Amino acid sequence: METSIFKLKKLVPKAALLMAVAAGTALQGCSNTEGGSANTAEGVATDAASAVYVAPGKHDELYSFLSGGFNGQVSVYGLPSGRLLKIIPVFTQHGENGYGYSEESKAMLMTSHGFVPWDDLHHPKLSRTDGMTDGRWLFVNGNNTPRVARIDLKTFETVEIMELPNSAGNHCSPYPTNNNEYVIAGTRFSVPLDMKGGTGDVSLDKYEEEFRGSISFIKVDPEKGDMDLDFQILVPGFDYDLANGGKGPSEDWVFFTTYNSEKAGTLKEVGASQNDRDYLAAVNWKLAAKYAKEGKAREMPANYYHNKIDKDSHIAKSTVKKKVRYLLPEECPGMMYLLPAPKSPHGIDVDPSGEFMIVSGKLASAIPVFSFSKMQDAIKNKKFDGEKNGIPVLQYEAVLKGEVKEPGLGPLHTEFDGKGNAYTSMFVSSEVVKWKLNELQVVDRIPVYYSVGHLMIPGGDTKAPHGKYLVAMNKITKDRYLPTGPELAHSAQLIDISGEKMKLLLDFPTVAEPHYAQAIPAEKVAPNSVKFYKLDENKHPHAVKKEADVSVVRESKNRVRVKMTAIRSHMTPDNIEGIQVGDTVYFHVTNLEQDWDVPHGFAVMGANNAETLIMPGATQTLTWVPKKAGVFPFYCTDFCSALHQEMQGYIRVSPKGSNVPITFSTGKKKQNIPGVASTK
Amino acid sequence: MKAYQKVLMIVAALSLGLLFVFPMWKIYLKAPQYPEGLELHIWVNKLGGSSESVLQNFNILNHYIGMEPIHPESFAELQFMPYIVIAFMITGVLVGLIGRRNLVLGWSGALMLAGAAGILDFYLWLVKFGTNLDPMAAIKVPGMTYIPPLLGNKQLLNFEALSLPALGSLGIFLAISLSIVTYYFTLKNNKITTAATPEKVLIS
């Protein structure tokens, strides 16, 4: 590994470095170095402050969705301001609002392994209509326990999570086709499949013979967005790293980078870095769907969870799926080809025209650009270089348009501005490099801080990129912000790409570790944003829509159900007696408010649980098992009104078997409860 | 009465129909926390507003100062007012068909009286709500009452209230003005006139 990097460094011509240094010094010359270190201001636009300034009360031009990586969440930022607007919990329990704690949402995190309250969320992808983002949904992947989730952009809430069988390390995921016909997900960690939906108890020496990868094809309902695993392709046991769909002429295809074509099962950092070439896998998804439809698919037993939130009750339900269909590439001619690509490629990105496939080989000294039309010719004229596991391998030269020479060190990902330029992130040399797609010539480079991973241009992976900004998401932060102990926020930089020269505009900290991001013009999302839920449409079985209907009922020996309401500034009931030690108490709290931005929170002293945050018109359930006798206060946790501090109540817990009857009330007898709400 | 005068009178009567299409009066509330504003719409037969749940939101805000909740059921007027309006429409059409000048004047006068009574009733309600405050209210400002303005604006704690007639009231205004214009025309039935057209009156 080290030696190969040394080799790479030698390969980089001094000219390129000189150019970068010269450009850097030139820019430094006209910038202040008040930050101390010289490179803090390198490339900063002179009008940067006004370019990112969104005046108080004004809105950003774009929404951006940054994955949170190991926090299992998505962060929503406004661009160009870099202001954090929201954190959306997806694969991770969120004490802040009770996601994954409340009875309604627990089922969202169910898997065939049981309740998995965390995941590693890598890639957000916006839903598409005709190859353009349409602002309806955001698909994201869970890498660790393979899952794909859908976030509804009307509510910015996770509404569906689909577990993927026969998969491990769901990294190469989730890639929607141009009209969301399929969301496609590949495995990074091949595993020995037992062909019953699990992994086999196989000796780890048997990697080469037994381990396989899979590519899942998830069908998306065009109206509702509901997902359904249609079929999988079982592929050779490589590591499938990243993918992207074609566009225009190549829209029937999806491309996957692979590494570990050596099929090493241990010390992969060495074992998977032996072959000079790995592969870019090209899969014709339309043909695959046709094969699956026409009976080429076999079926195997499986066991995986599909969790969905009902939009009227807000209750998540899990369905366990018991079978999955699969295709084998060797039985499906024309469906899959392998294109040789430089050692251990990482990103694969298809330009807006759909003609060029750009493979960023993190260990390679050049960026190969493949041509889709040449690939079609090579397939037609059978320009094969043998086959691998029954899949034809195309000749490298026959499919190559050319290589971008000396782009920098450690290319990872590429996005496009729609004006004929590509932008590639360079992890090792810590820069973004702009190059011309047709000429394959580097035309500009800008340093980023430090070690950029993904980069994102709004719409940069669609047919028509927005092309004004670029966000570089960096892996190393070090001195960018005030120090905060050993753990630092990751840094991101906003770069203006509207002119010939890239200009640094803004440096902002991000939450956890963003891998990829998506952005979309605000007008495609903002007008559809829900302000509150209609109480009339609340179909929660334990909702109460009038204070007169609240109840506390002992349903069985150890179970008490409290159906209560919250409205400014009281809860009904707020005095409850007759609970006993060891009871399981369900608090179904309905927020009776029907106004924008009036959530109420609910928390009970000593509950081994989070709070629950209830949006206007919705019902959420907090479960509490009191462990000792006494009086326990509960209260509203979200400052709702001038009398929020008064929005509290008491529960009396008596010993097991006590004869204190269940009683409940709000206010003294005959006291008029003000602000009583009705449904109309 | 000439044919066009009869038609004018019938138009006057029918213009009251606007009361069923638009609210009569609107009370606008603005506060720092309500950048989008809050509107209460008073119709001849119902209460409405800028959103479906506006009454609930008004009541939540008002309960802190001890104001009684506003419910449409509390207003008998909303039950019988529509019939009065329909009665005026029917009699107005009949007056037009009969075509007697004095009936026109009588109808117009009665409508003016009814309108004035309506405004007085509205004012009395505002006074009742603004002054009949629960002694247990959380917020008590000594000497403060919360009578919303009948017309124009007024600051009530953090809320700026603005009260204005709405398009429904235009129906009453049209009915009164058109019937008076009709009467005026009939006075000149023996002469050749170039009286004001309804449009001119409308401009005010």
* CATH number for the domain that contains residue A611: 2.60.40.420
The span from the CA of A662 to the CA of A398, in Å, is 80
Closest partner residue to B53 (CB to CB) among A595, A641, A672 is A595
How high is the pLDDT of residue B190? Answer: 61
Residues A510, A600 within the same domain: no
How high is the pLDDT of residue B204? Answer: 40
Per-residue confidence at A186, pLDDT binned at 50, 70, 90? very high
CB of A79 within 8 A of CB of A458?
Answer: yes
The span from the CA of A62 to the CA of A77, in Å, is 8
Residues A517, A614 within the same domain: no
CB of B111 within 8 A of CB of B88?
Answer: yes
CB of A360 within 8 A of CB of A345?
Answer: yes
B98 is in which domain, residue-wise? 3-203
How high is the pLDDT of residue B36? Answer: 87
Contact B53 A674 (CB under 8 A): no
Chain B: which residues have CB within 8 Å of chain A? 36, 51-53, 55-57, 59-60, 63-64, 66, 69, 71, 134, 136-139
The span from the CA of A94 to the CA of A100, in Å, is 7
Per-residue confidence at A42, pLDDT binned at 50, 70, 90? confident
With a CB cutoff of 8 Å and minimum separation 6, the contacts of B47 are B40, B41, B55, B70, B72, B75, B78
Residue-averaged pLDDT of chain A: 92
Q: What is the dihedral of CA A439, A440, A443, A444, to 10 degrees?
A: 160
- Report the DSSP beta bridge partners of residue B35: none
**In terms of Cα–Cα distance, which of A646, A645, A621, A651 is closest to A633?**
A651
Residue B197 has pLDDT above 90, yes or no: no
Contact A675 B69 (CB under 8 A): yes
Contact A642 B134 (CB under 8 A): no
With a CB cutoff of 8 Å and minimum separation 6, the contacts of B63 are A674, A675, B69, B137
The span from the CA of B47 to the CA of B54, in Å, is 9
Residues A525, A546 within the same domain: no
Q: How many CB atoms lie within 10 A of CB B109?
A: 13
What is the nearest CA distance from B37 to chain A, expressed in angstroms?
Answer: 12
Instruction: Give A368-428 as a 3 state SS string.
Output: EEEEHHHHHHHHHCCCEEEEECCEEEECHHHHEEEEEECCCCCEEEEEECCCCEEEEEECC
What does the pLDDT look like over A231-247, one tens digit per residue?
999 999 999 999 999 99
Where a domain ends, among A507, A529, A551? A529
Per-residue confidence at A674, pLDDT binned at 50, 70, 90? low
DSSP state of A463: S
Q: Which residues of A touch B64 (CB under 8 A)?
A: 569, 641-643, 674
Q: How far is CA A218 from CA A158, A161, A225, A280, A626, in A?
A: 17, 12, 11, 21, 43
Look up residue B98 and give its two tokens.
């009969």
Q: Is residue A519 part of a domain?
A: yes
How high is the pLDDT of residue A555? Answer: 96
The reported pTM is: 0.90
Residues A545, A627 within the same domain: yes
- Total number of domains in chain A: 2
How high is the pLDDT of residue A648? Answer: 96
Give the dihedral sign, CA A428/A433/A439/A443: negative
Provide the angle, in degrees to the nearest 10, between the axes of the packed helices B77-98 and B3-14. 170
Q: ipTM value of the model?
A: 0.83
Locate all alpha helices (DSSP H) within chain B, ordered by sequence.
3-14, 54-63, 77-98, 101-131, 167-187, 198-203
Where a domain ends, among A472, A507, A529? A529
Residue A677 has pLDDT above 80, yes or no: no
The span from the CA of A174 to the CA of A183, in Å, is 6
**In terms of Cα–Cα distance, which of B48, B68, B50, B47 is closest to B59?**
B68
H/E stretch holding A15: helix A14-29
The span from the CA of A289 to the CA of A294, in Å, is 9
Q: Which residues of A touch B134 (CB under 8 A)?
A: 672, 674
The span from the CA of A94 to the CA of A84, in Å, is 17
Per-residue confidence at A634, pLDDT binned at 50, 70, 90? very high
The owner of tokens 């709702």 is A640
Residues A485, A545 within the same domain: no
In single-letter form, the type of residue at position A553 comes to V
H/E stretch holding A4: helix A2-11
Where a domain ends, among A501, A529, A557? A529
CB of A179 within 8 A of CB of A190?
Answer: no
How high is the pLDDT of residue B52? Answer: 86
How high is the pLDDT of residue A29? Answer: 42
The span from the CA of B41 to the CA of B54, in Å, is 9
Residue B203 has pLDDT above 80, yes or no: no
The span from the CA of A614 to the CA of A591, in Å, is 6
Phi-psi region of B123 (alpha: psi -120 to 50; beta: other; left: phi over 0): alpha
Look up residue A179 and give its two tokens.
């009209």
What does the pLDDT look like over A14-34, one tens digit per residue?
444 445 444 444 444 444 444
What's the start-to-end Cα distance of chain A, in Å? 69
Look up residue A537 and give its two tokens.
């449409």
Comparing alpha-carbon positions, the chain A residue that sits nearest to B133 is A674
Higher pLDDT, A40 or A262: A262
What does the pLDDT look like over A270-328, one tens digit per residue?
988 888 899 999 999 999 999 999 999 999 999 999 999 999 999 999 999 999 999 99
Contact A675 B57 (CB under 8 A): no
Residues A478, A587 within the same domain: no
How high is the pLDDT of residue A276? Answer: 87
Contact A643 B138 (CB under 8 A): yes
Instruction: Give A566-612 as a 3 state SS string.
Output: EECCEEECCEEEEEECCCEEEEEEEECCCCCCCCEEEEECCCCCCCE
The span from the CA of A64 to the CA of A514, in Å, is 12
What does the pLDDT look like over A338-356, one tens digit per residue?
999 988 899 999 999 999 9
A517 is in which domain, residue-wise? 1-61+411-529
How high is the pLDDT of residue A40? Answer: 57
In single-letter form, the type of residue at position B8 comes to L
Q: Is residue A149 part of a domain?
A: no
In single-letter form, the type of residue at position B137 comes to A
Residues A434, A495 within the same domain: yes
User: How big is chain B, counted in residues?
Assistant: 204
Q: Is residue A124 part of a domain?
A: no
User: How big is chain A, counted in residues?
Assistant: 680
CB of A349 within 8 A of CB of A358?
Answer: yes
Contact A594 B134 (CB under 8 A): no
**In terms of Cα–Cα distance, which of A520, A519, A516 is closest to A425?**
A516
Q: Which residues of B touch A596 (CB under 8 A)?
A: 36
Q: Which residues of A touch B46 (CB under 8 A)?
A: none
As a whole number, mean pLDDT of residues A157-184 equals: 97
Per-residue confidence at B199, pLDDT binned at 50, 70, 90? low
**In terms of Cα–Cα distance, which of A306, A316, A308, A305 is closest to A540?**
A316
- Total number of domains in chain B: 1
Q: How many CB atoms lie within 10 A of CB A25?
A: 11
Phi, psi of A374 (to 5 degrees): -65, -35
As a whole number, mean pLDDT of residues B169-189 equals: 92
Phi, psi of A13 (to 5 degrees): -70, 145
Q: How many CB atoms lie within 10 A of CB A529?
A: 11
The span from the CA of A637 to the CA of A602, in Å, is 6
Q: Is residue A280 part of a domain?
A: no
Q: Which residues of A touch B59 (CB under 8 A)?
A: 675, 677
What does the pLDDT look like over A554-592, one tens digit per residue?
999 999 999 999 999 999 999 999 999 999 999 999 999
Contact A674 B51 (CB under 8 A): no
C-alpha neighbours within 13 Å on the C-beta side of residue A68:
20
What is the nearest CA distance from B27 to chain A, expressed in angstroms?
Answer: 18
